[in-house]
Amino acid sequence: IGFETSLSLVERGFEVVMACRSEDKALKAIQLIRREYPNGPGKAVFHAPLDLSDIKSVNAFSTKINDYYDKVDLLINNAGRIYGGEIANGWDEMFLTNYLGHFLLTKNLIDRLVAAENPRVVNVSSVMHHFSRSNAHDISYWNKFARFGRRCGESSYSPTKLAALYFTLELNRRYQSQGLRAIAVNPGAVNSDIWREMPRYLIPIFRLLYLNSKQGSYTTVAASMLKNLPKDVIYLQPYHQINPKVEPWPPTEMLGMFVGYLATKPRLPNDGTGGELSAQALWEISDQLVKDWGN
């Protein structure tokens, strides 16, 4: 999905920084993009590897970008994994990759973002945010998933995808007055590289039922480019809905009729404020988690 998104943005004239863990894979992707668009209008470049589960890598990449660019027009927090184990000091690899690394990267680049005209942050969420059992302003909930050994066998995938939505809300609250807009997206059920650790016999089934990677990039590209989205839109998903003004029934956000993108309501746990209280609390909790991560 990240490659197809990059390809679409280069086609629209962007200079796209490939933020990949593997320099080799990034350079191969850049070659393919140049083959497709040898004369622009945009281009893809590589400055430094980025491993979102490693705080030193996130900070080093951020420094590189801040030193090289005066402004950042668009940040797409796309990286994600559906598997992950325990890494250094007991941290949950999936929580770091899917959420906390994005949180830190965005904060590190925020000065460059607000220096741009009409900057955007796109946070890739998932239909799986529907299934997070969050009392989200409870710090113990997020600590449980940040630390691998504390989550009692539960996957941290759904909580990280809910966190992407709360992060979107809070970015808008804090920085909308400076011109920044954040939007979360569900790419859909996509036959992409995220399934690389699944049994190989399942891949033909995914290919039959799921969207391809190009289709999976539609919501991200729309969130990045569309100028006419109503101001209250914070979430795009790719399937037809009978009534987009209500929270979709989860199966229709997984295997529905593909329409490219559609603004719908995300399913946020009821905190009495439409998620705003929980979003503010998660930001504060995330700041503390980043401090702990760095120690």
User: Catalytic residue positions?
Assistant: 157
* 239 burial level (CB within 10 Å; 0-12, 13-18, 19+): buried
Question: Does residue 102 contact residue 81 with C-beta atoms inside 8 Å?
Answer: no
DSSP state of 152: T
Answer for the pair 75, 109: CB distance below 8 angstroms, yes or no.
yes
> How far, CA to CA in Å, does 256 sit from each of 34, 199, 242, 253?
34, 25, 11, 6
Smallest Cα–Cα separation from 292: which of 134, 157, 96?
A: 96
Rounded to an integer, what distance in angstroms lies between the CA atom of residue 171 and that of residue 15?
24
CB 163 within 8 A of CB 94: no
Residue type at 251 in one-letter notation: P
Question: Looking at the chain, which runs of residues are DSSP E strands?
Answer: 15-17, 43-45, 74-77, 120-124, 181-185, 235-239, 258-263
Bridge-based pairing state of the strands 181-185 and 235-239: parallel
- Rounded Cα distance between 231 and 158, Å, is 26
Find out whether 81 and 94 touch, Cβ atoms under 8 Å: yes
What distance in Å separates the CA atoms of residue 228 and residue 232, rounded to the nearest whole number?
Answer: 11
Q: Is the peptide bond before 119 cis (omega within 30 degrees of 0)?
A: no
- CA-only gyration radius of the chain, Å: 18
**The pair of three-digit structure tokens given for residue 163, joined into one six-digit string:** 């966190």
